[in-house]
Chains A and B, each alone.
Chain A
Amino acid sequence: MAMAKMPAVKLRAAKTPAVKRENSRGYRTFQIFNALILTGVVVVTLYPFATIVAQSFSSDTAINAGHVNVVPHGFNLTTYKKVMSDSAFWTNYRNTVLYTVVATAISMVLTTCYAYVLSKRHLKGRKFLIGVALFTMFFNGGLIPNYVLVADLGLRNSIWAIVLPNAVSVFNLLVMKAFFENMPDELEEAAAVDGLSTYGTLGRIVLPLSKAVLATMVLFYAVSFWNSWFSAFLYMDRSDLFPVTVYLRNLIAGATGGADQGTASDTALQIGANIQSVTIVLTVIPILTVYPFIQRYFVSGVMLGAVKG
């Protein structure tokens, strides 16, 4: 599925068009406007981060007086010290790391196995197996039946409530399937001649040649698990099990417990804006540090997924 009739494209950013673009005065004016608009896009994108960082270094009183914009006012590190000395924050942060690692590992195993199976064109029943996955993209059970199921299986307040219901992303599955399909058949035929079993071929021939796509998939899963909060919010009510996103959610919603009404209200103001800002910064930092390195993998992953599967 996905992008019908969209040719596979190599994604090496910004190839300058081979057409010599004319240099009329109108076009030059346009170029200037274009540069201004794009600068505007950059500024608008980064501005909220700048204010949060500025707030995280500022005192609560300066923020409440409306003095803090993109420059910290009353620069200090006490808020960072305060948040980082909160043991609940670290417990939740550790949970996030643990959930992300375990969930990503399980997702990778399931997705890789299934994608490999689906990539074998000769396999009887392949269409059906693909359909099993594809249909779930367009129709899902919905919140309540999922909730009832997880509760019934006794997964509440355990890591499995986060890991299992989201173990396979159909989009990622299609990306990997497309990648495996593009591998030359000869390789695997040679492996079969050498007497390797299917498992052996997958483990010793195919996977070592798929490092790029595997890395991409790990990143896709890891970022989505790192960022997720709703499963934990829904299925957990012990605060020592929360991931850091739920910690942050309770901070900004001014809530104290887990399974409350889920409303963000005025009471959010009770927790200092500086503390909220610091928690936001600390939650985002891991993503921001790896972002420059992982970004292009994401882009190429999206492209792979766009090839008709």
Chain B
Amino acid sequence: MSLTRTVDPPPRAERARPVKARRLTWRRALRRDWQLYSLAVLPVAFFVVFRYLPMIGNVIAFRRYVPGGSLFGEKWVGLRYFKMFMQDPAFWHVFGNTLILGGVTLLFTFPLPIMLALLLNEVRSAKLKRFVQSVSYLPHFLSIVVVAGLIMQLLSVNGAVNQGLHALGHDPIPFLQQPGWFRAIYVSSEAWQGVGWGTILYLAALTTIDNQLYEQARIDGAGRWRQTWHVTLPGIRPTMMTLLILNIGTFMAVGFEKILLLYNPLTYPTADVIPTYLYRVGVVSGSFSYGAAIGLFESVIGLFLVVAANRISRRAVGTGLW
């Protein structure tokens, strides 16, 4: 049973127009559209300077960089810095941490918005639905610093959580000082912040599912569960795949800023990840080339992950980002 619907693109006027066969040369294009091109100058300059220059700046991963010296380093050292971190047990430790933390986060933060969206979709009172939505979007608008502050207060020795434990006759737990708790805290805070906001695209996708499909399914004797399974979920599958690919792409980046705010030397065993590690060796200790090598390694893996996820998704369900 194929229930995915295709949407025809709206007919565009210019597609109907017969195309003149004469090729537009750059000279003609510039003469005609120079004003448009002029509008692009500053934004392109921004991308070149603040996006592409740093990409090229990654050559310092292969060159010795001296602070205050050239942006692109002083002399070639080959793969020296890559060998350095490949042989550094501390690097492999944070590499493992990154995979675990990223994986657990994806495992929880990807399905939760789908579940919430399905539940919201069943709410019949429009007012109640809107209220729940408004409240659940709220944490998305907070600064990470504020979220970190909230977490620290909630989990402090005298905070709300420990008050609950105390009521149960339990001794207080210094949550943020114990490596065993860090992953749970991090993932729950990510879920708290993102679950509501994550429902938006799913809710929109849900409204586009053709009601006739439900009608049909009911005539075929499908109960509510089977309707959800056979109509609703296939209906939002393209959205699910797209968000999954995007999530996988940011897998390696993990919530760097939040971890930086929440971790401390006591929780390094579980909390220290590639971005925080490279922040400490690169920015704090000033080993720029070494840090850049680690960063480049991480970016390349990230790019590889998106491309791979996209390809798999296209193979498997015929939808991808590009």
Binding site for B on A (CB under 8 A): 1-7, 9, 11, 13-19, 21-22, 26-27, 30-31, 34-35, 37-38, 41-42, 44-49, 51-52, 55, 63-66, 68-70, 109-111, 113-114, 116-117, 120-125, 129, 132-133, 136, 138-149, 151-152, 164-165, 167-168, 185, 197-199, 202, 223, 226-230, 234, 245-246, 248-249, 252-253, 259, 261-266, 268-269, 273, 276-277, 279-280, 283-284, 287, 291-292, 295, 298-299, 302-303, 306
Additional 5 contacts, C-beta under 8 A, given A44-B192, A148-B288, A291-B141: A31-B122, A64-B158, A141-B57, A248-B146, A303-B200
In the assembled complex, the Cα of A5 lies from the Cα of B8 at a distance in Å of 9
**Across the interface, do A41 and B211 meet the contact criterion of CB distance under 8 Å?**
no
In the assembled complex, the Cα of A261 lies from the Cα of B196 at a distance in Å of 33
For B60, the chain A residues whose CB sits under 8 A away are: 144-145, 148
In the assembled complex, the Cα of A97 lies from the Cα of B238 at a distance in Å of 40
In the assembled complex, the Cα of A280 lies from the Cα of B238 at a distance in Å of 39
Closest 8 CB pairs of A and B: A141-B54, A145-B57, A142-B295, A227-B143, A114-B43, A198-B35, A124-B29, A14-B126
With beta carbons under 8 angstroms apart, the residue of B14, B65, B137, B148 that contacts A121 is: B14
In the assembled complex, the Cα of A164 lies from the Cα of B47 at a distance in Å of 10
For B178, the chain A residues whose CB sits under 8 A away are: none
**Across the interface, do A19 and B47 meet the contact criterion of CB distance under 8 Å?**
no
Interface size class of B (residues with CB under 8 A): 35 or more
Q: Which residue of A lies closest to B156 (CB)?
A: A273
A–B complex contacts, Cβ < 8 Å, 24 sampled: A3-B201, A4-B319, A6-B205, A14-B129, A17-B214, A19-B215, A68-B158, A69-B163, A109-B42, A111-B43, A114-B39, A120-B36, A140-B299, A144-B60, A144-B292, A145-B292, A148-B292, A199-B35, A245-B146, A249-B148, A252-B145, A253-B261, A284-B142, A302-B201
In the assembled complex, the Cα of A88 lies from the Cα of B261 at a distance in Å of 21
In the assembled complex, the Cα of A123 lies from the Cα of B32 at a distance in Å of 10
Q: Type the 1/0 row for B243-278, where 1 means its CB is closer than 8 Å to any CB of A.
A: 000000100000001001111110000000001001
**Across the interface, do B122 and A30 meet the contact criterion of CB distance under 8 Å?**
yes
In the assembled complex, the Cα of A64 lies from the Cα of B156 at a distance in Å of 10
Known A-B contacts A42-B135, A69-B160, A249-B261; A142 and B299 likewise in contact (beta carbons under 8 Å): yes
**Across the interface, do A140 and B211 meet the contact criterion of CB distance under 8 Å?**
no
Q: Type the 1/0 row for B275-296, where 1 means its CB is closer than 8 Å to any CB of A.
A: 1001110111000100110011
**Across the interface, do A261 and B284 meet the contact criterion of CB distance under 8 Å?**
yes
For A292, the chain B residues whose CB sits under 8 A away are: 134
In the assembled complex, the Cα of A202 lies from the Cα of B38 at a distance in Å of 13
